[in-house]
Amino acid sequence: MNLDQSTYRGPAVDDRELLDLVPTELRALLEQVNGVVLFSGGLHIRGAALAPEWHSLRRAWLSGDSINQAYPGVFASDVPFAQDCMGDQFLLRDRQVIRLLAEDGSFEPLGVDLSAFLDAARSDPLEYLGLHPLVRFMEDGGRIRPGQLLVAYPPFMFAESGEGVALEAVAADEAIRFHSDLARQMRGVPDGTKVEVRVRPPNTA
């Protein structure tokens, strides 16, 4: 990994017990680099760290605030090792990477293992990770600080987003709660249905 592209590098490993639970290839990565934020906030790989909480793989995987608690269909054995700038989660399931789309809770198997995922992300982060919203946000003078994600108003899942969205950087935990609640409200609603959704934007950080 090219750490020259990083805006945050995780602390030394202080959650050794977690390393015994993760797949071998992820353990090898975390022993080399204990999580990192790459591409100006475009990809956050979580670490075997107890703090900060937003960086803790244990918190995202095994705590009461875990991704599998927030999204039905995520197994307790799925390892949420990373997320992109919009809060889409990257899960390791049977050593394959699956993308969990934050706004609607749907799954996209990527058909690659961890090593191939990292190679593809490094080769073409803009297209492979879908970082166009981040590029636009930065062109407008915005920056994502470590521990933040972007949210869009209206959310991209709505047709109205085609007319333009407002992007805002918020605390990662707030963004995950916002998106998972949106996914819960919209679960089972057929495509094309007209709905009235009242959302309270998450607090900025």
CATH architecture of 3-125: 3-Layer(aba) Sandwich (3.40)
Q: Lowest-pLDDT range, 69-73, 81-85, 199-203?
A: 199-203
Residue 205 has pLDDT above 50, yes or no: no
Spatial distance between the Cα atoms of 50 and 55, rounded to a whole number of angstroms: 8
Res 197: pLDDT: 58
pLDDT tens-digit map of 45-64? 999 999 999 999 999 999 99
**Which residues make up the CATH 3.40.1580 domain(s) of the chain?**
3-125
Closest CA to 72 of 173, 187, 199: 187
Is the separation of the CB atoms in 45 and 35 below 8 Å? yes
Query: What's the DSSP call for residue 73?
Result: T
Q: Determine the pLDDT at residue 204.
A: 47
| Average pLDDT, integer, range 151-178 | 85
Distances in Å between the Cα of 180 and the Cα atoms of 84, 139, 157, 185 are 15, 28, 13, 9
- Give start and end residues of each alpha helix (H) in the chain: 16-19, 24-32, 57-62, 67-70, 114-123, 125-128, 132-139, 172-186
Q: Of 107, 73, 66, whose CA–CA distance to 90 is shortest?
A: 107
